Amino acid sequence: MPSKPSSEPVYYNSLYRHGVDEKRRVQIPAKWRTPETEVLTLVLWPKGVMPEACLLVLPPKEWEALVQKLKAMPFADPKAETLRRLLGKKSDRVTLDKGGRICLPEAMAKAAAIGEEAMLVGLLDRFEIWDPERYQSASAVDDELLPEAFKLI
């Protein structure tokens, strides 16, 4: 399946379950790929009591927006400095290969408990990569919050 034209925005919709091979490569859905999203940033992301629950995947524009927010924070603010330090050390850039896969860095995959399978969860402008069991637990929490969450729109 060919990539989407670059003039059309990419939205990360739906839920996918993919195998992770012995080199820690996971397939990115074809409809989520464009030349602009060839390089993605992975961030170990917290959820509830799990400090490294999943991998948040940011396309270039969203990563740049986050970096700009961090740069705008005062350097003398210890909370801002902690946030910059944590996001700096808990992130990495990956490149899609010709087969549309990314290789999950070993330490990040281990921290997020991603083994032989991964759940890719669309968040519209970004997506997450989860261990299926962790995702099931997080999804149960989301289900509880859903009535209140819908009041935000």
**Token pair for residue 90?**
């808990």
The answer on pLDDT for 9 being more than 50 is: yes
Q: Which of 123, 90, 102, 97 is nearest to 13 (CA)?
A: 123
Q: To the nearest whole number, what is the mean pLDDT of the chain?
A: 93
Q: Under a CB-based contact definition with an 8 Å cutoff, are residues 133 and 117 in contact?
A: no
Question: What pTM, to 2 d.p., does this model score?
Answer: 0.90
Lowest-confidence segment of 14-18, 35-39, 44-48, 66-70 by average pLDDT: 35-39
Report pLDDT digits (tens) over 69-82.
999 999 999 999 99
Q: CA gyration radius for the chain?
A: 16
Residue 37, helix vs strand vs coil? helix
**Looking at residue 1, what is its pLDDT?**
44
pLDDT tier at 128 (50, 70, 90 boundaries)? very high
Q: Which helix (H) or strand (E) holds 114?
A: none
**pLDDT above 70: percentage of residues in the chain:** 95
Q: Which CATH architecture has domain 15-150?
A: 3-Layer(aba) Sandwich (3.40)
**Token pair for residue 139?**
């999804």
CA distance to 47, 85, 108, 139, per residue, from 27 (Å): 24, 30, 17, 22
The answer on pLDDT for 6 being more than 90 is: no
The answer on pLDDT for 66 being more than 70 is: yes
* CB atoms near residue 94 (< 10 Å): 21
**Looking at residue 152, what is its pLDDT?**
92
pLDDT tier at 8 (50, 70, 90 boundaries)? confident
Q: Under a CB-based contact definition with an 8 Å cutoff, are residues 134 and 113 in contact?
A: yes
Q: Which amino acid is at 140?
A: A
